[in-house]
Amino acid sequence: MYQKGRAWIELNIGHLIHNIRQFRALLPRDCALMPAVKANAYGHGATLVSKALQGQGIQNFCVASAAEGIELRRAGITGEILVLAYTHPAQFGDLIAYDLTQTVVDAAYARELEQDGRQFTVHVGIDTGMHRLGERWDNVEEIVKIFQTPNLKVTGIYSHLCVPDGTGPKAREYTLEQIHHFEYAAEELRRRGFCGFKCHLQGSYGILNYSELCFDYARAGIALYGILSGKSDRVNAAVELKPVLSLKTRVESVKMLYQGESAGYGLAYHAGRDCKIAVLSIGYADGVPRSLSNRGQVLCNGKIAPVIGRICMDQMLVDVSGAGDVKAGDEAVLIGKSGDLEIRAEDMAQWAGTISNEILSRMGERLERVAVN
């Protein structure tokens, strides 16, 4: 039985389903969602999330590694699982054994797959301007060679946008160029008689800011989990997204810190007045950024409790002087709602000087994950 012992994640599956419906309403009818469930589904728990997605009719998933794909297959996930990055030749057997679709990261990689001698199902990455993975969009002859490689069954091509979140004219211009480059490569392939391959380009911001595009799949990640990367981000689409994840922990101990005393490693917090502090059973090993030391906030009893001192590996200290009758065993909320207040992943990301994608994908393995609603 689930114990909610020391620190845990609550998943609101109802919100996940709501977000799926929002995306489906936004996307063209023929465009299927291909959720990004890499990095343990952005920390939410890959198996729980993927099963819920499959329950909503999702048949395409993307992951970052063969190992992540294997985890999904072992959990009974069917349909297509696309590995978005490099797989080492020593693991090529896994691609076949677990029916994973591999990304061809460039022309040289296609030759490596070919040398293996077995047959692989692949999507060809097209570099349209991010200069990360993919064969260059204008190396049409190389892309054609990949399609002609006997042991590669090419079922799709895809690219990735690098400034779809940008709202200024430069970002928009660059994105439109990337879109044109992608369409050029697809058209050149069709002109040479290749057909039947699927095309996909958009991640969350590509969907939310360029929803008029019409490709076969849309690789929704962060926004499917109900949040944006940055707190001040604005998007064109009128969607209402609901956060799926809450991060909670327990108060282990409550004590006084008297004026003039210091607390924690490095004596990093100095009490200017008497205060009541609570020790929480969560730390940076669970994914709470250490940069929240003396900076972040949590919620106790529907009130704000500021972080004091350095975040430890397994614990952290908060000032609960203004949070009423807090006692050992109480819940504290790091991400989510308590009473009328809410801390969102975007808030924690802002305090930590990063994006919510990083905050979520680093949620620790020790956290129990439990579906609610």
Most distant CA atoms of the chain, gap in Å: 78
How far, in Å, CA of 133 to CA of 103, rounded? 9
Instruction: State yes or no: is 109 an active-site residue.
Output: no
| Active-site choice (4, 153, 255, 265) | 265
Over its C-alpha atoms, the chain yields an Rg (Å, rounded) of 23
Q: Report how many residues bind ligand PLP under the rule CB under 6 A.
A: 12
Q: How far is the CB of 357 from ligand PLP (least distance, A)?
A: 6
Instruction: State yes or no: is 265 an active-site residue.
Output: yes
Q: By CB under 6 A, tell whether 129 contacts ligand PLP.
A: no
Give the footprint of ligand PLP on residues 156-195 (CB under 6 A). Answer: 160
Q: Which residue is nearest to ligand PLP (CB)?
A: 221
Cβ-based nearer residue to ligand PLP, 159 or 249: 159
Segment interacting with ligand PLP (CB under 6 A) among 188-196, 216-224, 259-267, 315-323: 216-224
Q: Which amino acid is at 110?
A: A
Cβ-based nearer residue to ligand PLP, 151 or 350: 350
Q: By CB under 6 A, tell whether 222 contacts ligand PLP.
A: yes
| Active-site choice (38, 42, 205, 284) | 38
User: What phi and psi, each to the nearest 5 degrees, are found at residue 50?
Assistant: -65, -35
Cβ-based nearer residue to ligand PLP, 222 or 359: 222
Cβ-based nearer residue to ligand PLP, 44 or 310: 44
CA 316 and chain centroid, separation:
25
Can you give the three-state secondary structure of 90-105, one letter per residue? HHHHHHHHCCCEEEEC
Three-state secondary structure call for residue 87? coil
- Nearest CA to 321 out of 249, 267, 259, 250 is that of 259
Site string for ligand PLP, 293-332 (x = CB under 6 A): ----------------------------------------
Q: By CB under 6 A, tell whether 237 contacts ligand PLP.
A: no
Can you give the three-state secondary structure of 143-209, one letter per residue? HHHHHHCCCEEEEEEECCCCCCCCCCHHHHHHHHHHHHHHHHHHHHHHHCCCCCCEEECCCHHHHHH
Member of 44, 219, 248, 369 binding ligand PLP (CB under 6 A): 219
Q: How far is the CB of 53 from ligand PLP (least distance, A)?
A: 14
Contact between 276 and 319 under an 8 Å Cβ cutoff? The reply is yes
Q: What residues line the site for ligand PLP (CB under 6 A)?
A: 36, 38, 84, 160, 203-205, 219-222, 357
Active-site residue list? 38, 265
